[in-house]
Amino acid sequence: MSATDSLVLVIEDEKPIRCFLRAFLERRGFQLIEAEDGEEGLALAAEHHPALLLLDLGLPGMDGVEVIRRLRVWATTPIIVISARGKEQDKVDALDAGADDYLTKPFGVAELAARMRVCLRHSATRTQDEQQAVFRTEGLFVDLAKRLVRLNDQDVHLTKIEFKLLSFLVHNAGKVVTHRQILKAVWNSDREDQLHYSRIYVRQLRGKIEPDPAAPRYLLTETGVGYRLVG
Amino acid sequence: MLLHYGVNVLIVAASTAFCLAISPHLDLINFIMVYVLVTVSIASFCSLPSALIACLLSVLAFDYFFVPPQFGIVVEEEEHLFTMAMMFVVVIVVSRLTERFRTQARNASAREAQTRLMMELTRELAGARGTDKLLGTATGQIGRLFGFPAAAFLLDEAGLVLNRAGAAEAFRDLPDAEVVVRWVLANSQPAGLGTRNMQESAALYLPLSGVGGTLGVLGVRPPKDASGFPPEQLHIIETLARQVGLMLEVERLEGERVRARMEIEAERLKTSLLSSVTHDLQTPLAVIMGSAESLMAVGEEMTPRERRELSENIHDRAARLSRLLGNLLRMTKLQSGTLKPDLQLQPLDEPLGAALSLMGKSLAGRAVEMDIPPDLPLLRMDAVLMEQLFLNLLENTLKHTPPESPVRIAARRVGPDVEVEVADRGPGLDDAELEKAFSLFYQGSASSVQTGERKGYGLGLAICRAIAQVHGGAIRAEHREGGGLSIRVTLPAPPGNASLPTDGANCAEEVS
């Protein structure tokens, strides 16, 4: 990992949390810069272009969700939210605003580091594979350009909508996508009463790309929030 | 009475003299009219016997002076005998009539007096809030009106007969009291002396019934020799019992309403506790878990300073969590009513002093001005809770004011209460915040002096309020003159003059 690839900006007002994050993450090869509130965080992000943001939502002054919105105007830097707000709606709000992942306090540092690595890897592949749009994992292979989906070397035939849904998930692989984001991307709709569409089609899709649809391996459910395609 | 007769004789004599004076000019029949007028007048003012005597005198005078032969008793013509008999009849009829009118008027004014009395009693009852006060007032009224003891009996939660108010001692020597009370409760009918049920009892027992059934029993014990109650007394007592019964029912319904509301409140509190507490628990937990996990994973690679810092953070947050949980527990117990305060008479200095000495080190460097008058009455307080109240107030002051700014603690008597003031010279609160500060989980606006380390949980003042309330008192925040915040706790001073014991006074008696 090069210096800038491992630069992590932590925006968190609780000093003891910044303290152990630094102690742990530095030993795991990350470099940390810290901000106590949203404004300071946005300024540091603009100045240092970190590879990843760790963001608390309950910040003094500007709220964390607002920080995400402002950052997303000019940057695609992956954001992992770390917050004590555990309600589904809070997660959905943060993810809808553009966060990549969400960890509820209290969280394990090992899990945090793992999620950070996933985020960084996907943001790296995302930039490379944007055109090719290939998703490859053990058992599952997707090539969006060739409209090819293979499960255990068997061709899988998808309907138009299913394919559209899968492409959106592949583009956002590793990231939690909300029901609302799926609805917007696949059906180009904002309607509250259609939020269940994604659930119906995800079930269909799982039936085709999951070896055991009842215990999904690739297309995971984030309860009350949305889905995440992992590989 | 004798005076009456004398006056009547004089009137008859005067009439006779008058008739004699006009007799040369007028016929006999006119004299009869004069005598009839006089006797009817007397009959309408006096009792029947005196009217009859006046009538007899009139007849005799008429006979003697006017009926021929004049100045003789013998009556020559039967016609005159008939006239005299008619005079008697008229007098009797008129007398009976006026007698009846008079009785009716007497009855009416007696009824009016009774109604007025009942209204007064009812008004007094209406002012009595709470079952005990209501029953006390009713039994007191009977005692005051009739001079014999009355007592009210209720069933307690365990189903035992309980003397709740009135002259309990007057019923203690009646072995059948409990049996009769139970019978009245079960049958909703009066029993005992002067009724059809259990007449051998020495007292009268009336049901206190509302629409929904009999809630209690009113016992009335007349003097030993009495065989019953005069009807008008009985009427008043019965009316009173009916009134009290209805009001008891209202009290009970009100009690149920309050209980239902409290249950809803407790439920709502539980929900808001859950959502807020999860947040307030998770932040310190995140510090503890994250720091501990980091120490376990990469502790060997850390510098000693880093290790120490992380350990300190773990300890600090664990202590905060423990404090938070203790406060929460106390709060929920207070609000749900499971924590009953142990109220004992004690001087204010005691919990206040305890809180101050606990704060000890943290207060160092601050000027603490104390103004507690020595003649302050003792207060009914739960030592532990009250100490917690002052601790919370002092901790708040420390949290929200710059170090070294002074603290003032003052107490004074305000009417029936004692007011304790804890005041600082900090930034104070906005007008809107003065009241909000006491609500659960209110953490203050960004303007107050709060750093990440010192942020509260919005519990301290809410607990203070709950504690003040279980003491029957109140707490409020005010702007302090000259800047700063002033928190005022009002606590009711116990009735009577429970001041500090002087030399030789028995302290144990007052603290019991």
Question: Domains in chain A and their CATH numbers?
Answer: 4-126 (3.40.50.2300), 131-229 (1.10.10.10)
- From the CB of residue B251, how many other CB atoms can be counted at a distance below 10 Å? 21
Report the CATH number at residue B420. Answer: 3.30.565.10
Report the CATH number at residue B302. Answer: 1.10.287.130
List chain A residues with CB under 8 Å of B278. Answer: 84, 86
**Are B444 and B376 found together in one domain?**
yes
Q: Taking a C-beta distance cutoff of 8 angstroms, is the pair B164, B154 a contact?
A: yes
What pLDDT is recorded for position B448? 42
- For residue B317 the two structure tokens come to 């947050």
Residue B125 lies in a domain: no
Last residue of some domain: B315, B336, B357?
B336
**Beta strands, E only, A19-100:** 31-35, 52-55, 79-83
- From the CB of residue B157, how many other CB atoms can be counted at a distance below 10 Å? 6
Last residue of some domain: B336, B356, B382?
B336
Domain that holds residue B315: 258-336
Q: To which residue do tokens 């039936």 refer?
A: A207
If one counts the domains in chain B, the total is: 4
- Using CA of residue B424, residue B425, residue B427, residue B430, what is the dihedral sign? positive
Rounded Cα distance between A97 and A112, Å, is 21
What pLDDT is recorded for position A20? 94
Tell me how far CA of residue B91 lies from CA of B51, B57, B69, B102, B103, in angstroms: 7, 12, 25, 16, 18
Residue B126 lies in a domain: no
**Are B221 and B267 found together in one domain?**
no
What pLDDT is recorded for position B410? 92
Q: To which residue do tokens 């809107």 refer?
A: B432
**Residue B151: phi, psi to the nearest 5?**
-145, 155
**Beta strands, E only, chain A:** 7-11, 31-35, 52-55, 79-83, 101-104, 134-137, 140-143, 148-151, 154-155, 176-178, 219-222, 226-229
Q: Taking a C-beta distance cutoff of 8 angstroms, is the pair B377, B493 a contact?
A: yes
SS3 for B67-118 is CCCCCCCCCCCHHHHHHHHHHHHHHHHHHHHHHHHHHHHHHHHHHHHHHHHH
**Are B297 and B280 found together in one domain?**
yes
**Are B330 and B437 found together in one domain?**
no
**Are B168 and B198 found together in one domain?**
yes
Q: Give Dmax over CA atoms of chain B in angstroms.
A: 155
ipTM: 0.72
**Are B470 and B435 found together in one domain?**
yes
Query: CA neighbours within 13 Å on the CB side: how many for A33?
Result: 19
Residue B58 lies in a domain: yes
SS3 for B308-361 is HHHHHHHHHHHHHHHHHHHHHHHHHHHHHCCCCCCCEEECCHHHHHHHHHHHHH
What pLDDT is recorded for position B160? 65
Report the CATH number at residue B239. Answer: 3.30.450.40
Q: Cβ B453–A110 below 8 Å, yes or no?
A: no
Residue B124 lies in a domain: no
- Write out chain B's pLDDT in tens, 512 residues: 677 788 888 888 888 888 888 877 777 778 888 888 888 888 777 777 888 888 888 888 888 888 777 777 777 777 777 877 887 888 788 888 888 888 898 888 888 888 888 888 888 888 877 788 888 888 888 888 888 888 888 877 666 666 667 777 777 777 788 888 888 888 888 888 888 888 888 888 899 888 878 888 888 888 777 677 788 788 888 888 888 888 888 888 888 888 888 787 767 666 665 666 666 778 889 999 999 999 999 999 999 999 999 999 999 889 888 877 877 777 777 767 777 778 888 888 888 888 888 777 777 778 888 888 888 888 888 888 888 889 888 888 888 888 788 899 999 998 888 999 999 888 888 887 777 777 766 655 544 444 433 445 567 788 888 888 888 889 999 888 888 889 999 998 887 655 545 544 444 444 43
Last residue of some domain: B91, B106, B121?
B106
Looking at chain B from residue 323 to 362, which residues have their Cβ under 8 Å from any Cβ of chain A?
none
**Are B505 and B426 found together in one domain?**
yes
Threshold 0.90, pTM exceeds: no
**Are B227 and B298 found together in one domain?**
no
3-state SS class at B380: strand
Q: Taking a C-beta distance cutoff of 8 angstroms, is the pair A113, A122 a contact?
A: no
Q: Taking a C-beta distance cutoff of 8 angstroms, is the pair A163, A147 a contact?
A: yes
Looking at chain B from residue 441 to 470, which residues have their Cβ under 8 Å from any Cβ of chain A?
446, 452-453
The answer, for A148 touching chain B at a CB cutoff of 8 Å, is no
- Tell me which of B277, B280, B289, B293 to substitute to probe the interface with A (most A C-beta atoms closer than 10 Å): B293
Closest-CA residue of chain A to B309: A19
Q: Which residues contact B238 (CB under 8 A, 6 or more apart)?
A: B190, B206
